[in-house]
Structure 1
Amino acid sequence: MGTVANPARRRRGPPGADAAHSIWRRRSPQKEADPALRIGAEECPPVRLRAGQAPLAQAARASFSAPGPLATVASLALSWKSVATVSPLAKESPVSEPKGPLPPKKSPYRIPVPAHPVKRREPLPWHRPKPEDEDPSARERVEAIARSATYRQADQDVEFLALDATRGVRLQIDYLKTQQELERQHIEHTIVVFGSTRIREPEASRRYVAQLTEALQANPGDEALESRLKVARRLLAKSRYYEVAREFGAIVGKACDRTCDGKLMIMTGGGPGMMEAANRGAFDAGARSIGLNITLPHEQYPNPYITPELCFRFHYFALRKLHFLLRARALVAFPGGYGTFDELFETLTLIQTRKIRPLPVVLVGEEYWRSAFDVDFLVEEGVIDAEDRELFWYAETAQEIWQGILHWHEANGTPLLPAKGG
C-alpha cells in the first residue's frame, strides 16, 4: 500500500516549479546565498493589517512557508506590502473604517437610461403592417397569413396539440399542472374517497321515489316505470352512505386541518354522489378538499363543495388515477359501479404486486361489497392467494372508517396524525 497523500502538500511542486527554481539558482546564486534575503514568513516583523489583509497574508504565508527562493521573494513582498500599508500609529490607534456607502465614481462616459422592457420610443419596421399605399392588397394577404393554422403559436394551437404525435406532450402537461399546484400549496397527503355518482342525499332520493310512484299510479302496468321505481328504492336504501361519507369528510377535515396544518386532506373524483358527500363534509368543517374531474364527451360539472383552487380537470384517466395514489394515505370505497371498481381493483393490484407501498383500503357497506366482490370465491378458485384477503377490510360508520385507518398506520409505524403533545 502506498503512502497516503498529504491533503495540502505535494512532494513535488506544480509543473514549472522546478524549472523556475533552477533558473533562479543559475541567475542569482549570490542572492540565494545571502542570509539577509532569506527571511521566512515567521521572521516578518509583527504588523497590524487593515481589514481584509489578514486572510491574504495568512494565505500567502501558508503557501510559501517552505524555505527556498520563491518563499524568500513572497515573504519579502508580503512584508514590504504590509509595512507600506500600515500607519505608523497603527499600534496606538485603531484603524477607522469608512461609514456608509462610498460615493459613486465619476465616469468619463455618459451612462444611458435603462431601456423599457417592452416599449420603444421608435417602433421597429415590423411593428406596422405594410402600408396600403405601397400595395393595396397587402392588408388582405397579411390577414390571410394570420388566419393560417401554421401561423399559430405551437402552445396555442389546439389542433396541433390534439395530434397523435403530440400525445407525449399532453401526457406530460396533464400530470405536471396538478403536480405543480399541489406542491405549491404544500399538500403532502390525501385520503381518497370513491363511490357511485348515483347515490344521492336521502332527501333527494326520497323525492325521486315519490315522483316515480306518482307517475306509476298515473300509468299502472308501465314496466319501464316499475323498473325505474325498483332501482330508485334500492338507491334510497343506500342513500344512508351519503351521510356516512359526509360525516367522514368532516372528521378528516377537522382532524387534519387542526393537527396537520392542512397538509392532509380529502381527495375525490370531483363528481356528485358519494364524492360530493365527502367534499361536502370537509366543506362543513371549514377545511379544504380536492376534486379530480375528467373531461368526457358529454358535459360534466364538478360538485360545488370542492375548494375552487383545488379542483383539477384531466384529459387522461391514467394521469388522474396516478394523482389519486401519488399522495394517498388511505383509500375509502363506498358502493359504486364501473368507475369505483376500476379505481379499487387497480389499487389492490398495485398493493398486491408491491408496485406501491401498502396503504389501508376500506370497503364501506359489507353487504353490498360481499355481493359485488366475492373475494372468498376468488381464493377458492386459486386466482388470488389467501393473504390477498388482508389487503382491505369492511366498515359501516364514519368513525369505524377513521379509527381503522388510524390503527392501521399506527401498526405500520407511519402514524397519520402527530403525537399528542409533540
Structure 2
Amino acid sequence: MKLYFSIAACLCLYANLSNAQLLNQDASGKSTIIESGSTVSLDFSQALANINYFKSIPQKKDNKSARGLIIGGQLQGRSAGGWANLFSDGKFTPEGNLSVLAGGYTRLRKVRDNDNYEWLLEERVKCNEERNEKGRLLDEKIFPGLINKHWQVQDCGSSDSVLTLVKAAMDSKTKLIEKLEKLEKEIREKASFDRCDLQAVKSIHALVEDLRETAELERFIALTDKLDKLRTEINDYSKRVVRTGRLTYYFRAGVSARGFKYDNGEAIKQMDTRFTDVSSVEPYFEIGTSWRLNACSYLGITAGAQYFSNFGALAQSAYSLVSQDSIGNSVLQTKTEITAYSGAAFIRKWGAYVNADYLFLLPLEQAKSMYLGISPYIRLNFPGVSAYLDSFRATAGLGGYFINGNSGAFQGGIYLQTSDLNKENYDHIGKTITFGLVSKFNLSGIAL
C-alpha cells in the first residue's frame, strides 16, 4: 500500500498534463465514462481515495486531428477500517487497485477543418485593418473635400443645422447615401420650402452623386459586409466545434489487491495457526467504449473478466491479545488489537462482468455557470456457479454531481447504490442500499 500511495503522489505532480478523467464513480470508485480532465476524488463513506491520469495524444502535434490515442491509468486505495487507518502505519485491512489503459478516440461528427477556421480568423483581422484604413481616409480627406466642394448654402440661417445633419450621417458610412436621400426628401416636403431649402437640396443631391462614384466608400461598405459574414461564420464554426461528439475505445488491465487476517476458528488453540495472513491479488481485463454524444450527454459501456472472491461475505471481528509479564509484585500487560475475518473458506474464481454508465448535465437556472450531472449506472457480475459465490449479482446506482460550467471542473456529489438488485442474498433491496459522498479535486476540466 505504501508503494501505491508513492505512485499516487507522483501522479499528482504531473496530473496537470493530463486531459481525461472519470466523470462519475460507484461505491468501488469505478466508472466507464472517460472524458477530458483529471481528478483526485475522495469517497468519504467508503474510505476510498482515487486518482486518475489519462492523456489524449492527437495524430497531429498541433491538436487539429479528429483522431488520436489515449493512454493513462487509475490508482485507488481503500481501508476497511475507515479513513483513520487508510494513511496510518498500523495494523489495518488494506485494499488497492491499479490499472492502466490504452486506446484511441475519434470525433462522432464531421466538422470543418481547423485549418479553415484559422484562415477565417486571419481573414477577419486583415479585413478589419483594411476597413479601418478606408474609414480614416473617408473621415479625414474625402468627406471634408466633398463638403467644401458642394456645400454652397449661404446667407441662410438653417444651413448650419442641415450641415450638422449631413456630417452626422457621414459617421455611419454604410448607410450614408440612404440617409442623405432621406434628408433631401424631408427638406423637399417641408411646408415652408424656401430658397435656403432649395440650395440645401441641390447641395445634398450633388454630394450624393459624387459619393456614388467614390471607390473608397464602396470598398468600405463591401469590407463591412464581408466582416459581418466572417463573424457569423466564425461563431457558427465555434458552436459546431464545442458540440462535437467523441467516441473513445480502450483496453484496460488492472489488479486489485487486499490483505487481511483470517480467523480459522476457536478450535485452533495456537495463535500462529488460528490467525493466518491472507494476501489476495485479483487481476482483471476489460474492453470499453465511452461516447460523448453531445455537450451534455455521456454514455460508457465495458465488458471484462476478473477474479471474484467472497470477501464481502466474511464476518469481521475485533480481538484483543493480552500478554502479561511479572515484574516483582507488579504485572505488566501488553495489548495487541487484531482485526480478523471469519466464515466460509475464502475463495477466488474467474468470472465475467458488464458495466454501463450514463451521465446527463442539467443546467441550473439559479446558478447559470453550474450544472447538475445525473448519472444512473448498472453493474452485472457473472462469477460462475459456486457454493460460496453467487451465480449472478446485479448492482445499480444513481449519482448526482455538480459541475462548474466556466471551468468544466467537477465539484463532487453524492450517490445511492444497491449491491443486490436481483435479491440474491436479501429479500428486500433496501437492506443493501449504500449512500456515498464524493469530493473531487480537479486538475483540469471538460469543455462545455
Q: Please indicate the TM-score interval, normalised by the length of the shorter structure.
A: under 0.3
**Bigger Cα Rg:** 1
Determine which structure has greater relative contact order: mean sequence separation of CA pairs < 8 Å that are 6+ residues apart, divided by chain length. 2
More helix by share: 1
More strand by share: 2
